[in-house]
């Protein structure tokens, strides 16, 4: 099942990225958070040529509304040493910075022998790929949590318990470019906000920024997520999720969000 028949998020025109309609997010006529993070990760990866450097952290800040208009990406290596490299990237629209990211790369080396305790998390099985990718949704998200009610209704994350997801971004970010593991992970981790901030009555928090922490790059197309924590007070929420591939855990997603109870996500990008 190839990507050639599926509309990509962006068309490239020189140094500018022109969004297709599918790039619109669920919170209004703006670019989705996952494509913003994807473009920033792509730009950061472009200037980091050392294959022994492991992307360990990526933080994405959306400074203002990123409109459904052409966007340009820039990057700067802010620090480079024998064991690490720090890179900043920006998205520019109309001559103004609308989103930015910072990344930390660490050099791979010998793994210590010690076993260190961690919270055990067991993911649901990886789902089968659908026979055909639906054209109306930007990415494939298989949610797990509550069981549907007797009428077959009820969204899996809308309950008071652990929530999970397997995410597969089947679209190209930029036409003609295969998603790299780093870019794929950066796009998937945007789901952390919805996964971790759902409550019994729905999704009452909107993402302000997100951070991805990786101990290694994912293998394969599916990226799994398990909600771990949600702490909120005064309308400010901090939440975390564990990230997985088919082999096991790869890192964490962290969401910083603000209460937005009177606004409901709409459009193809909205998670039910």
The 10s digit of each residue's pLDDT in 6-36 is 999 999 999 999 999 999 988 788 999 999 9
Q: Mean pLDDT for the chain?
A: 91
- Tally of domains within the chain: 1
d(CA 183, CA 168) in angstroms, rounded, equals 12
Q: Is residue 119 part of a domain?
A: no
- 87 belongs to a structural domain: yes
Q: Is residue 15 part of a domain?
A: yes
Domain coverage including residue 39: 10-108+137-259
CATH at residue 157 = 2.40.160.210
Q: How much is the pLDDT for 204? A: 87
**Is 264 part of a structural domain of the chain?**
no
47 has pLDDT over 70: yes
pLDDT 10s digits, 144-181: 998 766 455 568 998 889 999 999 999 999 999 999 99
Helices vs strands, H then E, count in the chain: 3, 14
Tell whether 86 is covered by a domain.
yes
pLDDT for residue 267 is more than 60: no
Per-residue pLDDT tens for 54-67?
Answer: 999 999 999 988 99
Q: pLDDT for 77-116, tens place per residue? A: 999 999 999 999 999 999 999 999 999 999 999 999 999 9
User: How far is residue 9's CA from residue 18's CA, in Å, rounded to a whole number?
Assistant: 8
The half-sphere exposure of 243 on its side-chain side, counting CA atoms within 13 A, is 29
Q: Is residue 177 part of a domain?
A: yes
């Amino acid at each position: 099942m190839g990507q050639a028949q599926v509309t990509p998020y962006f068309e490239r025109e020189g140094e500018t990225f022109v969004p297709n309609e599918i790039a619109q997010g669920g919170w209004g006529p703006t670019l989705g958070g996952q494509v913003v993070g994807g473009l920033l990760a792509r730009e950061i990866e472009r200037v980091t040529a050392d294959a022994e450097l492991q992307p360990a952290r990526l933080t994405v800040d959306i400074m203002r509304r990123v409109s459904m208009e052409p966007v340009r990406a820039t990057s700067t290596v802010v620090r480079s040493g024998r064991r690490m490299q720090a890179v900043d990237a920006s998205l520019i629209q109309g001559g103004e910075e609308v989103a930015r990211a910072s990344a930390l790369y660490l050099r791979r080396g010998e793994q210590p022998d010690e076993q260190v305790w961690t919270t055990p998390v067991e993911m649901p099985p990886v789902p089968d790929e659908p026979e055909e990718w639906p054209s109306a949704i930007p990415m494939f998200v298989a949610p797990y949590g509550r069981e549907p009610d007797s009428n077959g209704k009820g969204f899996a994350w809308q309950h008071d318990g652990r929530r999970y997801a397997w995410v597969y971004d089947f679209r190209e970010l930029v036409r003609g470019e295969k998603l790299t593991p780093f870019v794929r992970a950066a796009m998937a981790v945007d789901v952390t906000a919805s996964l971790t901030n759902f409550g019994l009555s729905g999704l009452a928090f909107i993402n302000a920024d997100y951070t991805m922490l990786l101990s290694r790059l994912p293998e394969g197309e599916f990226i799994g997520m398990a909600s771990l924590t949600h702490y909120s007070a005064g309308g400010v929420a901090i939440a975390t999720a564990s990230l997985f591939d088919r082999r096991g855990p790869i890192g964490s997603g962290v969401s910083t969000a603000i209460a937005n109870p009177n606004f409901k996500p709409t459009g193809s990008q909205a998670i039910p």
